[in-house]
Amino acid sequence: MYLYNSATHKKEEFVTHTPNHVEMYTCGPTVYHFAHIGNLRSYIMEDVLEKALRWRGYDVNRVMNITDVGHLASDADTGEDKMLKGAKRENKSVMDIAKFYTDAFFDDCKKLNIKTPDVVQPATGLIDEFIKVVSALIDKEYAYVAGGNVYFDTSKLDRYYVFNDHDEEDLAVGVREGVEEDANKRNKNDFVLWFTKSKFEDQALKWDSPWGVGYPGWHIECSCISMKFNGEYLDLHCGGVDNAFPHHTNEIAQSEAYLGHPWCKQWFHVHHLNTNSGKMSKSKGEFLTVSLLEEKGYDPLAYRFFCLQSHYRKGLVFTWENLDNAVGAYNKLIKRVAALGGDDGAVDQGVLGACADKFGEALDNDLNTSMAVTCVYDALKADTNAATKRAIIGSYDLVLGLDLIKKADALREKEAAQAKTAGADGFTIQGEGDPAIDALVLQRAEAKKAKNFAEADRIRDELKAQGIEVTDVPGGAVWKRV
């Protein structure tokens, strides 16, 4: 497999520290609000990557943090703690906010067929580990105490800017928009490992430490969680492209200073989901969540399909029209799979293997999901029987996560129910396959046939009260929910 490496700016063969085993880390959510669908694009693509690796035969250990303390509003040690901000907004405790939005995040992931990582670790559950690593960095003289806080000394590094060579003036404190000068720092690029009350008097969550009562910085949590659950050598680190600087840059600095050797070779960054007005965020425009998509009648997996049609290293523009186009294509694809019928017949292993090779080529080419989706269409056109086509598509869907076979089977069952004959005289009912509604519609028809119009009207009113509209047609009736 070849993946683009953000650290080297080129596609490279993916090589793991231990053969056939992948230690994978994903930057998790800061649980102060719902995740918007732009956040979730990253998790969808990381999920596809994990499933592609497993499909390729790798044993994968995937670890993810939950940030429930320490993430400040600017991502650069300034502004209010996002968790405290969320707690104030809703007049709840920080931990109540964290639990609610953690649960909401995983509910969204379930709807999008995003697999839960093997290890999920909230930052607040590993405070002793953070203190141990920060203490070691001080002992190694990579960190210093100033004004009650502990800072990482970036001047001790041979190279700090791992992902990009930045212009020093662009990063000067007080020049870069939104960054306030911190007089405690020895160098403008130094970052906080541990805050004390000298930073925020009203911080809700705080712990005793050798440097005073305080709380960890955002960056240290990911390094410590990964080193604890992935070990000293990380094969693959994932996140949104906005995490590359300063978050991932700082992770590399502190991790390699602590370990004394290279930490992670492969960096996988997913680019932004944008609207026509720019980068999607929680603070401007309509707050686009999975729940909002559902309220508007969209299947969350249609959004997953929308994301898979674009490459993860390209910005993706979200509009309702673009999503509608994806919905149309997704529904047509499900209908084509449904038209194959069931699993009758023998699977042609030769064809199955040849198609698997082609699908693997798409995955191996820097996770080219649009080509992987094209492989599904190619399978539908393949010169083979229906059972083989279903086996091919089922195998592909272990990676794509679109529920194509499941939804196709449900569609076939629904269409069979809608087309059923519900009377000995050939009276046909078309609806949504609800047996209870079908029975009432049939009772109404039988009452009308017996000229018991009062009973027919009563049943019609009962159906209307349930939101059901019935239309009589030659030889039967059609009902729908209104």
Strands (E), 342-444: 428-430
Q: Are residues 354 and 429 in the same domain?
A: no
User: Domain for residue 150, yes or no?
Assistant: no
Which pLDDT belongs to residue 418? 64
Is the same domain home to 408 and 470? no
Residue ranges of the chain with per-residue pLDDT less than 70: 73-76, 78-79, 165-181, 197-203, 278-286, 417-425
Choose among 63, 61, 224, 64: nearest CA to 132: 224
Same domain for 258 and 387: no
CA diameter of the chain: 95
- pLDDT for 300 equals 98
Question: Left (φ > 0), alpha (ψ -120 to 50) or beta: where does 91 sit?
Answer: left
Shared domain check, 374 and 323: yes
Domain containing 222 — which CATH number? 3.40.50.620
Residues 115 and 239 in one domain: yes
Enclosing H/E stretch for 152: strand 149-152
Does the residue 458 lie in any domain?
A: yes
The answer as to whether 35 is a domain residue is: yes
Are residues 393 and 425 located together in one domain of the fold? no
Q: Is residue 280 part of a domain?
A: no
pLDDT attached to residue 197: 64
- Looking at the structure, tell me whether residues 248 and 314 fall in a common domain: no
pLDDT at 401 (0 to 100) = 98
pLDDT at position 174, please? 34
- Structural domain includes residue 199: no
Q: What is the pLDDT of residue 168?
A: 43
Q: Among residues 251, 62, 253, 230, which one has the least CA distance to residue 140?
A: 253
* Ramachandran angles phi, psi of 67, nearest 5°: -85, 105
CATH of the domain at 364: 1.20.120
pLDDT of residue 88: 80
CA 398/CA 439 separation, integer angstroms: 39
Q: Domain total for the chain?
A: 3
* Per-residue pLDDT, 479: 87
Could you tell me if 373 and 408 lie in one domain?
Answer: yes
- pLDDT at position 198: 56
Range of the domain at 336: 290-414
Question: Do residues 78 and 220 share a domain?
Answer: yes
36 and 58 belong to one structural domain: yes
The answer to whether residues 301 and 432 belong to one domain is no
Same domain, 117 and 244: yes
